[in-house]
Amino acid sequence: MLYQAILFIVAKAALAHRSHDNPKIMLSGSAPNIIKSAAAVAGLAGLVAVSAPTEVSSAELKLASFTGPKHAMNRAFFTPWAKEVDKASNGTLKVKMFVGGKLGKGGARQFKRALDRVADITFGLQGYTSNQFRATTLIELPGIAGNAVEATRAMWAAWDGHLEKEYKDVKMLFMWSVDRPVIMTKNKQVKSIADLKGMKIRTPSQAQAKTIQALGAIPVPMPITKVYNAMSRGLLDGVLTSTTTLTGFKLKEVTKYFAAGLPWGTSPMFLVMNKDAYNGLSAAHKAIIDKTTGAKPSERGGAVYDKESEDGFNLVRNSKNHVLFNLPASEVKEGTALLMKAGLDIIAETNAKGVNADAIVAKMRAAN
């Protein structure tokens, strides 16, 4: 239609111009010139057709986060990414965030919510369903990484041929880690490894449950969203978690003592996308998703946690209501030996379950 319209308009204009100059010139007598004009117009129409921008249909993706709007990941990681996607697509691809568990409470079912497309994209922790992520949760072993960014790099170093198998049913967007945890308690201060004996300590996963148990404590696996109430009611003596939870989950209100210095492993996190949701996007929108996600962009999540962690430590250092205690070298040595032995046991158990833990841990350790 565009071609015929341009041809008609230009030919008519040409004829009108020639007729004005010489009224005797009729259409039948100007066929060669009209043919030339038609050829030129055909070229113009082709140029217009080629150079016209391809129209991209608008799309909106639902992102489900089980944490509140002020949580570091929602505020400093997902929101900037959503804005980046919006800008890159000229507003044709939107990521709409549903925070605070609006599409489902708690973090334990977040991966399944992506599979079932309760949301197009979900945020969660692999440690909540450790049996599903035996390879990924090896990052929780002690001594692999010193901070969240290092742990993020370590996981991606083991992605090809190993960790990727655990995410074959989804589109992986971001995989990153929390910073190293510390032991937080409310009534009893931990100044030695012996002090942990018999204490009920919350852990985020099976691997960290085994490591805290190696130090004599009683592990209590529990999602972070339930820790505040458990600490308030005296159901826990303490919690093994990052200092980022002091404000993000208000744990500063139910903790007093902090024991730091042990080489704990870190907790992995994911932002995954339903495969049908991804495959249903236009090629242009897929390219934007691919460009803005993956290994290197995932480090931004780790960097946010490292910064938030330092902010948390500063909060404790400058607080009159909290006490930060760095375990002495002798206690760190004793604790580290026990943690590393527990780590070797976990590697052996994981190997026995068909996961090449030796190879995965070797790749992780070599990443930094």
Q: Is 314 within a domain?
A: no
pTM: 0.84
Same domain, 150 and 252: no
Q: Are residues 359 and 231 in the same domain?
A: yes
Q: What is the pLDDT of residue 39?
A: 42
Q: Are residues 260 and 355 in the same domain?
A: yes
At 30-62, the pLDDT tens digits run 444 443 444 444 443 443 333 333 566 899 999
Query: How confident is the model at residue 13, as a pLDDT?
Result: 42
Intervals of the chain under pLDDT 50: 1-53
As a whole number of angstroms, the distance between CA 289 and CA 85 comes to: 7
Range of the domain at 22: 2-51
Task: Indicate if 293 and 338 belong to the same structural domain.
Answer: no
127 and 77 both lie in a single domain? yes
CB < 8 Å & 24+ apart, contacts of 353-357:
353/134, 355/134, 355/135, 356/162, 357/134, 357/135, 357/138
Residue 101 and residue 159 in one domain:
yes
For residue 129, give the CATH number of its domain: 3.40.190.170
Asked if 227 and 330 sit in the same domain, the reply is: yes
- In this prediction, residue 55 carries a pLDDT of 62
Q: Is residue 277 part of a domain?
A: yes
Q: What is the per-residue pLDDT for 56?
A: 65
For the chain, how many structural domains are there in total?
A: 3
Same domain? 7 vs 29: yes
Torsion-angle region of 182 (φ positive above 0: left; ψ -120 to 50: alpha; else: beta): beta
pLDDT at residue 260, rounded to an integer: 98
Looking at residue 6, what is its pLDDT? 39
Same domain, 81 and 217: no
